[in-house]
Amino acid sequence: MINVLFVCLGNICRSPMAEAVFKVKVAEEGLEEKIHIDSAGTGGWHIGKPPHEGTLSILRENNIKGDDLSARQFSPDDKRFDYIVAMDDSNAANIKEVLPEEFHGSVFRLLDLVEDSTEKDVPDPYFTGNFQEVYRLVESGCSQLLIKIKKEHNM
């Protein structure tokens, strides 16, 4: 099983959006039995809460289920994930503070995978309100992540 974890600050906007979008992409490829997907936040303010209404709204607009997700906090146990996908540079730094150094190689930003992207950090819509733009970036990054995983695991 390949384990993928999306991480943002509070786990109610960007990372659950990425988790939901990526689950659809994985299912479309028939790989849901081979790829486990989760999300977490580096902060613990929203533990147990559902995604932000803005995230749920944009997911519904795109016929993606997300109302079964709930926030959790990133922990040292998350080193078990093969791919730890941060939404921005700050999240990546926070993740690396929690993990032993030998696991830092599994941490990268989602938009690092999108070659033609002028942005490398997915902006936090909790503060900007721009869930549509975040969805566009997440969708693009998730597509590239699936390509990367399929290539690296000969799928």
- 78 labelled catalytic: no
**What are the extents of the domains in the chain?**
2-152
Span 43-68, average pLDDT = 96
Q: List the catalytic residue out of 14, 72, 78, 121.
A: 14
Domain 2-152 has CATH 1.10.1040.10: no
Mean pLDDT of 143-148: 98
Set 78, 88, 121, 124: catalytic member: 124
Give catalytic status of residue 14 as yes or no. yes
| Catalytic site residue from 8, 38, 109, 142 | 8
Which residues pair with residue 40 across a beta bridge? 7
Q: Is 124 part of the annotated catalytic residue set?
A: yes
Average pLDDT over residues 93-102: 95
CA distances from 150 to 102, 122, 130, 153 (A): 24, 23, 31, 5
pLDDT of 117 reads 86
Is the entire prediction scored with pTM above 0.75?
Answer: yes
Residue 56, pLDDT > 90, answer yes
